[in-house]
Structure formats: structure tokens, C-alpha cells
Amino acid sequence: MTVSTPGRTRLCVTIELDPTPPRSGDVVLAAALQCFTAADPVEVAIYLHGVPELGPSHAEAVLARCEAACPDRALMPDVVLLCPGEKPEYPVVLAVSQVGKALPDARAVVLLANLARELWDGARERPASDPVSAAPGGKDRPAPTVRDRALTLRDPALTLRDPALTLRDPALGGIGSAPSGNVPDRSQIAGLLGRLATPPPATPAPLAPPLAQTRPAPALPAPAGFEAPRPTPDTPAIAAEPTRTTTERTLLRQAALEQIATVDEAGRAGRLRAGGLINAVVLVQHLDSWGALHTLTEALRDHPAVRLDVVALDSDLSRYAGETSQTLSEAGFEVRDADWMRAGLSGLDLVVLCDGYDSFRPEGLRIPDLCAAGIRLVYSPYGTNIGGGALQEQRQYNGLLHNVAWRVLAPTRGQKELFAGICEVGDSHVHALGSVKRERVLAVREDSRAGSALRRATGARVNVLWNPHFTVGDDGWSTFLTFVSPMLRYFTTRKDLGLIIRPHFRLLPDLRSIPALAGVERTLRATAAQHRTIVLDESRDYLAAFAASDALLSDQSSLIPEYLPMARPVLYLHRPGDVPVNADSRWVQALPTATTWSEVARFLSAIGARRAPLPPHDVIGPEHLGDGDAGAGARAATMLADHLRAEVGP
């Protein structure tokens, strides 16, 4: 029934079905069998709800439903029928249920489509000798369909705008009969996805049953055999489309807005019109991204129309239990925990997030849960992304949060334009008010005391900040393994130059997990311990390192645009063939660039002699130099409060 793929790690998707198909049809089952093919290393495991023992009749019935959902057996993925309690043979990366209701089934379809996209994006091109690659197509034939590309796995830039991934099932209102590119209006969406309740329940139901999946990095797990191909500098950017097709992201956004309107009408609007405060939450989990929220959190706390709570969550990357809560408390914020937020979701009006990585968040506080509660989501990006290429841009501008967020706070107008061209629902919800994260840098730049402890620690006349990225694999862009040995040797011989090593917070943990590289961390720590002029900075906040440094050496990273307002030399460490920069960050190409150690050494010599060039301000432009960032947090808080008040009426 299927074509197996020897030598590739296999994954499993589980689906729970009722023994009898719902009247709306096998929507979720059809999505699984059409998103994945015989060419994908994915097994679809089916459980029958409420069936304690399986017999031949159950197998025959499930097979008939599978064939109805995917008539071409040659394209069908591996399908197994499991007894209750029986574990799949392969790691489960996604578990969904088909419940026969439009909204949860639509969410399950989206999760399946997103997983399929991640696998297609991450798959290496097959050799011509691979028999699975012999898919239809040729120069005299039509362009390949999504199914053809799934078979050949030759398109790493696959997007979810393909008509073949449009929700066309009759259970969703017969979208397939609508002209291509037509987006249903509000009344059609109400019919498509249905209101969750009329009137809404006191505690809104979740969009779907809890999702069991492993921790992504950052969007989905990256098992062996699924290393994403490294885009090349000529990878085409994804251009804006004049007419957008109706895909699952568009539908989910409109469903989220419908739920907001429902909760508004059920009581929120009346409460706010009567003078009630906006109940807002800033969700803080990764302390390394706190800068993207800090000044906005202060401004919301001080806004007269807002009652703010800060919720502190730990994650797999926390260094000890309660780290987030302790750090924020020491910074002067009163904090709440996950249980408090879960219990009070129905009373929240606004939640601010700085990333869309739901797998780090606890159950009940993920994006679909917040949407189901009718909460307005605000996305304040954790950094000013400079990476380009189709895969990176999809992850940074077209994820679930980017599409369903009520408001997105773009740090620059160029970032807003990237949303316009890449985000499925456009940029009407995106506002460029300056960089909340870079606003903090402006204060440090003017503070002569900032960084003084680090300067005393190195004892050097001139300090260089080194920011290596964590993506050391073949498909990454980190230069760490290339430069770590000569970098340490160089600074052990230069007593007048200090080196502040501030690695990406994932670099050292990732090195520990790779046996062949574990010794690199030990050498790094030992060298720093033996030489005063070399400091390994593992603090959560980079501002002190910024203030203590006289120049920056950095891989492709959002820290480069954050550092620009310091008006100090920057050397871009470029690994040949790594990901290109995006359209908002072409100024990076005007920075001094090094691909070899000799180029790094020349730059360091110039730093020591105070002759290194400053970044070219005329090429970079004022927006990236911090000119519009002062007051960004306060502007964002005012906009959010004003826009929410305007929507619920006077």
C-alpha cells in the first residue's frame, strides 16, 4: 500500500476517530492522508474511540474510510490501526482527534498542514536514482501540484498558500466552490467555523483536545535525517501576492476575531464602556528575550486604563526552577504563575507574547487556548530579525501567532513590509512604532556606569564582544567552530585587548548534547578561567556586555541591529553559503565582513589601534540606529489601549 524510504528516521502522527464517520465527513483523516504521502517518513496511527478490542470488521471499515479520503493508494502514507493503549512504533510528533465539529477539526487540519510543511521544508533533495522521485511532470506539463512536490521533496520553499492546502471540505462550508482567492466575509466565517457558544460559556471551551508533541526547536522537532537544507544567498524571497487564497491561516484568524467579538458582546464591551480597566497580561518565559517586553511592560503597568499582571513561566531552557519569577521580582515586578492565568483566562482582555513557540508554554496557555477564550493577542517580536531565505522568513513572519495576533509590534517599517509580503493575512494588524527592545539600548548608551563591572573584570584597555550563534551544524550559520580556537589563542597573547564571550543561550547546552563537541565547552571555560582578559558572560541580559564593549564580532543575529545604536565598530562573521539577509537588513552587506581568521585578525588589530571603521550610518539609515526607538514601549501601550477601547465602543 505504501512506498517505504529506507535509511530515514520515521515519525508518527496519531488520529483518534469515532467508529462511525461524522456527518461532516472524515475531515481530519483526509487532511492527514493528503498532507503526507508514501514519500514522507510518516506513519499515520489510528485509534478508534470507545472500541476496547479490534476485529477484522474494524480494519475493513477504517481501510474503506482511508480509501475514500485518498483514492490513490500509491500516494497514501503508511497507516496502522492500533488497539487502545498500544504505543506506536515511531516517535509521536503530533496527536489530533476528529470530533466532527468545525472549529476543532479545522485546528487539527492546520496542525497537520504545518507539520507537513515543516517536513517538506526540512527534507533534503532526493537523488535522481531514488525511485520515489520519479513523479509526474516535465517541461511540457503543468506546474507540479503539492502532491507532486511531496513525492519529489524538491521544493524547500513550499508555502501554505497552495490551493491544494485550502480547506475545501464540505464540513467547512464548501469553500472549494468559491472562486479562487475569495476570502469569506464575517457572516460566512460564522457559518464555516461556527461560534463556540451563544451565549459564550463562563469558561470558553478549548479549540481542540490537548496536543501531545515533543518540544520543537523552535517550531517542530528536528530529528536525525530531517536537517533543513541551507538556503543560498540567491534564495528568492517570498513576494507579496495581489490576491490571497483562503487558507487555514486566514480561516483561523477570522475565527479568532469572531471569538473576540463574541466575548466582547457577551460582557467585555459593557464592562469597559462602564469604565472598567483593560485586564492585560505580559507572558514572560525566556529571560533572554525579556528586552522585547521590558519597556512595554512598564508602560502597560503605568497606563491609567490598564490593570496589568506579569506571568512568569519557566521552560526547558531555565537554569533552575523559579528563575523567571525570581528575576522579574528582583526587577521590581509582581508576578503571577501559570495556574493563576489558566484559572482566570475568561477574565483577560489582552495578552502580550514575544514568540510563537507554543511547545515551551504549558498546556492551557498556548495560542489556540488564548484564542478560544476570546483574548486579543499582541506579538512583540523577541528580536529584529535580519535572516532571509524562504524557510527563515516563513518562520519569522508567517507562523500561527503572526497570523492570529490582534496586533503585531514591528520594530521598523521595513519589518512591517516583510509582514505585508510574507504573512498570509497581510500587515493591516502590524504597526511600526519603534523597537521596544532597542529602546533599552539607548539608555545604556548614555549611562557611563553601565558595564563598569565587566570592564573591571577584563582589566583591558579595549574590550571586544563576541556573539557566536548556536547553529553549528551543516545547515546553520554559526562560525563558532571555525573561529573558537584561533580566537582564544589570539586573546591569550593580547594583554591590551579583552574578549567578552556572550554566546547565544542555546550554544553551550547544545554543545553538551553532542559528545564529539562536549570538549569544546570545557576548553572555553578553562581558558576563560586562566586568563583575566577573557570573560565568558552567561548573564541573562546583554546590556552590560554592550556597555563594556568597544566593538562587536557577531554571526548573523538580531543582536547586530540591537548593537547599532551604540555607534561602535561591528564585524559580521559570515559563513560561506549561510542564509541571506532579508530585504529590511541589506545594510548588513555594508558592514565589514569576515569569512576567514586572517580577516578577523586584521579587524582586531584595527580595534586595538582605534582605527576600525564605524558602521556606515548613511547606508544603514536612522530607523536601525535607534532614532525612532525612544518611547517605543509607551507608544505601543497607548496604541493598544486606544485601539481596544475603540473596538468595544465609547
Q: Is the pLDDT of residue 196 over 80?
A: no
Under DSSP, is residue 504 helix (H, G, I), strand (E, B) or coil? coil
Domain 442-625, second-level architecture: 3-Layer(aba) Sandwich (3.40)
Specify the pairing of strand 350-353 against strand 376-379: parallel
Question: Distance between terminal CA atoms of the chain?
Answer: 62
Number of H helices, E strands in the chain: 24, 17
Using an 8 Å Cβ cutoff, are 560 and 552 in contact? yes
pLDDT of residue 9: 56
Delimit the domains of the chain by residue range. 11-136+144-168, 248-435+630-648, 442-625
Closest CA to 354 of 303, 283, 416: 283
SS3 216: coil
Q: What's the mean per-residue pLDDT of the chain?
A: 78
Q: Which of 323, 293, 322 is nearest to 310 (CA)?
A: 293
Cell of 579: 542564509
8 A C-beta contact, residue 563 and residue 552: yes
pTM over 0.85: no
Which one, of 144, 412, 375, lies nearest residue 264 by Cα? 375
Greatest pairwise CA separation for the chain in angstroms: 82
Do the domains spanning 248-435+630-648 and 442-625 agree at the CATH topology level? Answer: yes
DSSP H or E stretch at residue 379: strand 376-379
Report whether the peptide linkage leading into residue 104 is cis, meaning its omega lies within 30 degrees of zero.
no
In this structure, what C-alpha cell is assigned to residue 517? 563537541
- The helix (run of H) or strand (run of E) holding residue 471 is none
Q: Which CATH architecture group holds 248-435+630-648?
A: 3-Layer(aba) Sandwich (3.40)
Task: Tell me the C-alpha to C-alpha distance, in Å, between residue 531 and each of 189, 332, 507, 534.
Answer: 64, 36, 22, 6
Q: Exposure pattern of 520-546 as b/e (b: 16+ CB <10 Å)?
A: bbeebeebbeebebbbbbeeebbbbbb
For residue 200, whether the previous peptide bond is cis, meaning omega lies within 30 degrees of 0, is no
Per-residue model confidence as pLDDT tens digits over 361-397: 999 999 999 999 999 999 999 989 999 988 888 889 9
d(CA 160, CA 391): 12
Q: Would the pLDDT of 110 be above 70?
A: yes
In the structure grid, which three cell numbers stand for residue 583, read together?
530585504
Q: Which of 599, 535, 203, 585 is nearest to 369 (CA)?
A: 203
Helix (H, G, I), strand (E, B) or coil at 383: coil
Q: Residue 244: what pLDDT? A: 33
Integer Cα distance of 612 and 595 in angstroms: 17
Across the range 168-189, mean pLDDT stands at: 33
Residue with cell 554543545: 511
pLDDT of residue 259: 93
Read out DSSP for 156-172?
TT--TT-GGGS---GGG
Round to whole Å and give the CA distance between 181 and 244.
5
Most confident of 503-512, 546-555, 618-627: 546-555
Instruction: Count Cβ atoms below 10 Å from residue 78 Cβ, excluding itself.
Output: 20
User: Which region among 94-98, 134-138, 502-506, 624-628 has the lowest average model confidence (pLDDT)?
Assistant: 134-138
Q: What residues pair up with 47 in beta bridges, in sequence order?
A: 16, 82
Confirm if 560 and 483 have CB atoms less than 8 A apart.
no
Report the share of the chain in percent with pLDDT over 70.
Answer: 79
Report the alpha-carbon angle 574-580-581, nearest 5.
Answer: 95
pLDDT over 90, % of the chain: 48
**pLDDT per residue over 419-458, tens digit each?**
999 999 999 999 999 999 999 998 888 787 888 899 999 9
- The number of beta carbons lying within 10 Å of the beta carbon of residue 583 is 15
If pLDDT is split at 50, 70 and 90, which confidence band does 120 have?
low
Quote the DSSP letter at residue 567: -
Q: Which residue has the cell 558595564?
A: 451
pLDDT at 173 over 80: no
Put the strands of the sheet holding 11-17 in their side by side order. Answer: 78-82, 42-48, 11-17, 92-97
- Give the C-alpha separation, 129 to 467, whole Å: 42
Taking 90 as the threshold, does the pLDDT of residue 131 lie above it? Answer: no
Residues 167 and 174: their CA atoms lie apart, in Å, by 9
The pLDDT of residue 367: 93
CB contact set of 594 (below 8 Å; sequence gap of 6+): 571, 572, 573, 574, 600, 603
Residue given cell 553551550 in the structure block: 508
Quote the radius of gyration of the chain (alpha carbons, Å).
26
pLDDT at 342: 96
For residue 484, which amino acid is it? V
pLDDT at 202: 32
Q: Strand 462-467 relative to strand 497-501: parallel, antiparallel, unpaired?
A: parallel
Q: What is the mean pLDDT of residues 144-166?
A: 31
Cell of 396: 519569522
531 and 314 in contact (C-beta within 8 Å)?
no
Contact 589, 581 (CB under 8 A): yes
Kindly tell me if the per-residue pLDDT of 340 is higher than 90.
Answer: yes
Residues 185-192: contacts with CB under 8 Å, at least 24 apart: 186/254, 186/258, 189/251, 189/254, 189/255, 189/258, 190/258, 192/102, 192/251
Return the C-alpha cell found at 78: 503508511
Coil/strand/helix, residue 308: strand
Evaluate if residue 4 carries a pLDDT over 90.
no
Say which residue the cell 535607534 belongs to.
Answer: 626
Cα 34 from Cα 148, distance rounded (Å): 11
pLDDT of 178 higher than 70 = no
| Residue corresponding to grid cell 497607548 | 638
Assigned C-alpha cell, 401: 501567532
Percent of the chain as helix, strand, coil, to the nearest 5: 40, 15, 45
Using one digit for the tens of pLDDT, what is the confidence trace for 68-108?
A: 888 777 778 888 888 888 888 888 888 888 888 777 778 78
CB 247 within 8 A of CB 160: yes
The 3-state secondary structure of 46-73 reads EEECCCCCCCHHHHHHHHHHHHHHCCCH
Return the C-alpha cell found at 69. Answer: 479520503
Euclidean distance between CA atoms 380 and 352, whole angstroms: 7
